[in-house]
């Protein structure tokens, strides 16, 4: 059976998982694809740390460029991470005419136009199944399984850390700080969790999904991103009582030819399948014009789910190199026509509003008047507590309204003398 050499850049958690699974399942994979991927070299700055796998020391090197330049290596796998040295090495591999497999969502989201442009110029490809949602084959589904469809919308729970925190706040009725600490102790959150809880990790993934679904480069700077630091147990409890679950959601929509790409805390009806996704699991709903709604669910991170996705890409690229794929299109084939990204102020949504109002006659009427002045209608109101002459929380759910109108309304509400604290706004997606 023909063999193809694999060079691995980065021997961390995922890299070790790739090595372990290739050692364990290499023969099975070879029998399935008709060609044998053979790991020939591994580059990492630390060659001595125990990874829980046994490798021949002669395969290890600190010189990543020597891996790329080795003529026995046909496929370069980048698992270093970050946007510095990884970018340089990927571009170098592409320049050498070698296809690249990567899990580096941040790099592709921020430098995708450059990297995919280089790949197309050199007539090689970049494979990145592991960059979004770990072991869930969402990239392959968009590229292949849903190729007959125009994508109307993608809604994704794409960060296991955030989903674990929000699930804990809901089920255990604990504070954000308590749930975050639990996630760190359990190994689901980093010591510095900013990329996760501030929504950046989810935004990187949303950029890749949007770019793939609609065929144009989505700049990170054009994506609205709001994390979960400001979420309170109070709002989760109120939302539950009103029939909603709170999730950090990536929302990607095609609204009459204008594309929305945004990440923010979102209320989802409890009867919708996405609302039941708990813990560190990810899930993605894709709506196609032909197939309708489809749902993808699984572990979105970790040594083995991510290694599974990396190896699936290795298998595909090896099969392509061994047997050819005439006139195949590359990862991104950018549309020639102009595609417009919708400004966040122009999006429309329903809203959950929690305002702290002085409990006296006429105050709620003032709030309702402000909403009406900004063309926002009220769908329902909830006030569980009464304390005459004191501040009480009042929950308002609105009908669909424009984001810019709601921005103006909430500013006017917070300026009212009867409002005792900054109001809370959470967007609602009914999801059909």
Task: Write out the catalytic residue numbers.
Answer: 205
Work out whether the CA dihedral 45, 50, 56, 57 comes out positive or negative: positive
Longest dimension (CA), the chain: 83
In this structure, are strands 258-269 and 151-157 parallel, antiparallel, or unpaired?
Answer: unpaired
Q: Check if the beta carbon of residue 182 is closer than 8 Å to that of residue 227.
A: no
The Cα–Cα gap between 373 and 363 comes to: 16
Nearest to 133 by CA among 199, 204, 189, 226: 204
R_g of the chain, CA atoms, integer Å: 24
The Cα–Cα gap between 252 and 203 comes to: 11
- The burial class, CB within 10 Å (0-12 / 13-18 / 19+), for 60 is middle
Residue 49: how many other CB atoms lie within 10 Å: 10
The Cα–Cα gap between 198 and 89 comes to: 28
Instruction: Calculate the alpha carbon distances from 432 to 155, 240, 244 in Å.
Output: 11, 19, 14
Nearest to 156 by CA among 212, 89, 78, 219: 212
Q: What are phi and psi of 265, to 5 degrees?
A: -60, 140
User: What tokens appear for 11 in the block?
Assistant: 């021997």
Q: Check if the beta carbon of residue 95 is closer than 8 Å to that of residue 120.
A: no
Element of type H or E holding 195 = helix 194-197
Nearest to 115 by CA among 41, 208, 213, 39: 208
Q: What are phi and psi of 187, to 5 degrees?
A: 85, 15
Work out whether the CA dihedral 78, 2, 129, 142 comes out positive or negative: positive
Provide long-range contacts, Cβ within 8 A and 24+ apart, for 373-382: 373/409, 373/412, 374/401, 374/405, 374/406, 374/408, 374/409, 374/412, 375/401, 375/402, 375/405, 376/351, 376/401, 376/405, 376/406, 376/409, 377/401, 379/350, 380/242, 382/238, 382/241, 382/242
């Amino acid at each position: 059976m023909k063999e193809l050499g694999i060079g691995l850049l980065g021997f961390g958690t995922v890299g070790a998982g790739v090595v372990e699974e290739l050692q364990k399942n290499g023969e099975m994979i070879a029998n399935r694809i008709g060609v044998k991927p053979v790991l020939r070299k591994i580059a990492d700055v630390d060659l001595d740390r125990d990874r829980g796998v046994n490798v021949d020391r002669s395969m290890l090197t600190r010189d990543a460029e020597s891996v790329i330049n080795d003529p026995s290596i046909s496929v370069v796998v980048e698992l270093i991470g970050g946007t510095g040295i990884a970018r340089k090495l990927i571009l170098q591999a592409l320049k050498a005419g070698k296809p690249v497999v990567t899990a580096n969502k941040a790099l592709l989201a921020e430098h995708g136009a450059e990297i995919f442009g280089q790949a197309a110029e050199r007539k090689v490809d970049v494979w990145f199944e592991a960059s979004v949602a770990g072991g869930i084959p969402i990239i392959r589904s968009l590229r292949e399984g849903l190729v007959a469809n125009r994508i109307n919308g993608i809604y994704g729970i794409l960060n296991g850390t955030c989903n674990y925190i929000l699930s804990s706040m809901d089920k255990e009725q604990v504070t954000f700080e308590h749930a975050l600490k639990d996630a760190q102790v359990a190994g689901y959150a980093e010591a510095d969790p900013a990329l996760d809880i501030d929504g950046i990790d989810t935004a990187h993934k949303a950029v890749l999904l949007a770019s793939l679904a609609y065929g144009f480069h989505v700049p990170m700077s054009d994506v609205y991103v709001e994390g979960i630091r400001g979420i309170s147990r109070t709002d989760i409890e109120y939302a539950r009582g009103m029939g909603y679950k709170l999730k950090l959601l990536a929302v990607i929509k095609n609204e009459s030819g204008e594309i929305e790409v945004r990440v923010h805390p979102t209320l989802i009806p409890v009867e919708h399948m996405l609302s039941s996704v708990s813990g560190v699991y990810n899930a993605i709903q894709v709506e196609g014009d032909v197939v309708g709604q489809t749902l993808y669910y699984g572990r979105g991170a970790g040594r083995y789910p991510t290694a599974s996705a990396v190896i699936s890409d290795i298998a595909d690229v090896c099969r392509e190199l061994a047997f050819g794929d005439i006139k195949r299109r590359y990862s991104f084939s950018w549309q020639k026509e102009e595609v417009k990204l919708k400004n966040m102020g122009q999006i429309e949504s329903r809203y959950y509003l929690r305002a702290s109002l002085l409990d006296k006659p006429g105050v709620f009427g003032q709030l309702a008047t402000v909403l009406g002045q900004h063309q926002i209608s009220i769908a329902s109101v909830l006030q569980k507590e009464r304390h005459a002459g004191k501040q009480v929380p009042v929950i308002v759910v609105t009908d669909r309204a424009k984001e810019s109108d709601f921005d103006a309304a909430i500013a006017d509400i917070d300026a009212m003398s009867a409002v005792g604290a900054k109001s809370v706004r959470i967007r609602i997606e009914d999801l059909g």
